Amino acid sequence: MSRLRNFSRNLATSYLQLGVNIIYSLVSIPLILHWLPKAEFGLWAVLVQLMGYLSLLDLGMTGAVARLLVDHKDERANGNYGSLVKTAIFVSFAQGLIILAIVSLGSPLLASLMKIPAEHAHTFILLMQLQGLIVAFNFSFRPLGMMLYAHQRTDIQSFNDMFNLSAQLGLLVLFLSNGCGIYSFIYANVFTTLISPLYMYWNCRRLGFLPRSGEWGNVSWKIFAEVFNYGKDIFIMGLGVQLIMASQVIVISRNLGLELAAAWSIGTKIFNLFSPLMCRPYGAALPGLYEMAARGEKERLYKRFKEMVILTGSLGVFLGVCLALCNSLFVTVWTAGKINWSHWNDIFLGLWLFFSALQTTHINFVNVSKQYAGARFVYLLEGTCFVLVALLLGGRGGLAGILVASNICQLLFSCQYGFRLSSRYFQCSWKEVAFQWTSPCFKFAGVFAPVAIIVWLSTVNLPVIWRLMIHGAVAGMLGGFIFLKLGFPPKMLLEAEARLPRPAARILQFLAHPI
């Protein structure tokens, strides 16, 4: 019951945090476009993507330590838990110093490689150095989040993120309205960067997650080697994910200019919000799956993992169709027509979301099994292939060409390999994993997608705002109903009904089992 309670709490707060993130995006983008030129917003979008690559200097240590802490958190007296925490502290501090050195010395070179226009080059370099200082500071306090994750208290991290987003929005408005321009992002980030570690430390101390006296152990080469050997596989996978998900803005800015980079950043905002929405249940379930694997509960692990595959795939269908139905209309209304976004882009984004849902549970199951083998290279091969294809296209095909390349690479690499990975671990056929496990997802898609097409065609002559309202209502209400009927694993639905407050449980029961 404690696993289910932790899963429910972590999932609920993660969705609440995502809701705050959505509000932040909905409010901040129009404000930013009001005070900043599109080229400057594109400059910040490029910088954010580049700074994301600095997270790779973590070398997989964060994920490795968090995963290994799960194995040792029940036996803290032998000092292994404390040794892992102490190792993480030293390594995180060293990584922060490395990041600081890289951004201080390498930002002029990056400005040149990214072909930043001369009038923006100085601003870009200064922004990167300031943001690098913030990222380096954050790195030094990552062990606090590792301990919270290992003890299945990611809800605390979610509350911290909610506070940060709320504070940043208020500060962003304050600084933008006072003429601070693009530096407003930096000023807003500084405040939350200083507050967050205090909140995280207080909770780790309050809940007893910090090693107590006599439990700290020693930093040893053996512990470091164990973390590094595990972390290098996470690093290779993380590099691939970064190439797949965070290289588009860089490619677009080089080939198509800063304004189209800004258009991509805004047009894919809902996609970037939907992606974690799709993955949240699996992410909340992972600490529990780790425990099942560590304790040898393979039958329970099989059943729960299969349910998560169905749930994640069905969420990919639901969110992918919703995005294809609503996103271009939403962007037009949201930006008051300042950003042009093709409906074809949304169709390819919806497919990308669905394909991501099919593979993400299988590929990332290696974090549970700790059997990385060839899986560590799949994302890297996929990301490298995508970047090469996108650069060879040189902007031909525009934004749609970028999206088509992403979808094809994902099908060829991570989708098919992920199915084979799970079939080997659970000793079942590839066809069972690829088709039988996901059959509820395809049934759901077979019903919901035609409904979306009919709605789109029947409203094509209406004003944009009316079309958006109708599409949103159909996608949310009718799509949600079909999702509960066809896409939600029955056992998990019963668990949800049992955990929800009685009024909410009755509503869910009525929707899923109408009289």
Residue 1 in this model has a pLDDT that exceeds 50: no
* Range from 103-107, 412-416, 469-473 carrying the lowest mean pLDDT: 103-107
Contact (Cβ atoms closer than 8 angstroms) between residue 192 and residue 168: yes
Identify residue 27 by its one-letter amino acid code.
Answer: V
Residue 336 lies in a domain: yes
Has residue 443 got a pLDDT over 80? yes
Position 73 in a domain:
no
* pLDDT above 90 for 193: no
Rounded Cα distance, 355 and 275, in Å: 11
Please classify residue 427 by burial: count the beta carbons closer than 10 Å to its beta carbon, then call 0-12 exposed, 13-18 middle and 19+ buried.
Answer: exposed
Decide if 200 is inside a domain. no
Average pLDDT over residues 213-227: 74
Element spanning 508, H or E: helix 502-512
Structure confidence by residue, pLDDT tens digits, 454-500: 999 999 999 999 999 999 999 989 998 899 888 877 776 665 555 55
114 or 313: which leads in pLDDT:
313
Question: Given a cut of 80, is residue 332 above it in pLDDT?
Answer: yes
- State the virtual CA torsion across 340, 17, 145, 96 in degrees, nearest 10: 30
**pLDDT for residue 83 is more than 90:** no
Question: What token pair was written down for 51?
Answer: 């700074």
Q: Give the pLDDT score at 98.
A: 83
**pLDDT level of residue 346 (50, 70, 90 thresholds):** very high
Instruction: Kindly state whether residue 451 falls inside one of the protein's structural domains.
Output: yes
DSSP 57: G
Q: What is the pLDDT of residue 502?
A: 54
Q: Residue 207: CB partners within 8 Å, gap ≥ 6?
A: 151, 153
Of the candidates 371, 362, 287, 224, the one whose C-alpha atom is nearest the C-alpha of residue 71 is 287
Amino acid at 466: W
* Domain-embedded: residue 330: yes
Domain count, the chain: 1
Q: Is 11 helix (H, G, I), strand (E, B) or coil?
A: helix
The mean pLDDT value of the chain amounts to 82
Q: Residue 307's domain spans which residues?
A: 268-477
Quick check: is 185 in a domain?
Answer: no
Q: Is residue 411 part of a domain?
A: yes
Per-residue pLDDT tens digits for 231-262: 677 777 777 777 787 778 777 877 777 778 87
Q: Looking at residue 338, what DSSP letter applies?
A: S
Is 468 among the domain residues? yes
Q: What percent of the chain has pLDDT over 90?
A: 17
Whole-number pLDDT of residue 326: 94
Q: How confident is the model at residue 515 (pLDDT cuts 50, 70, 90)?
A: very low
For 3-31, the pLDDT digits (tens) are 556 666 777 787 788 788 878 887 888 88
Instruction: Tell me the two tokens of residue 4.
Output: 């289910």
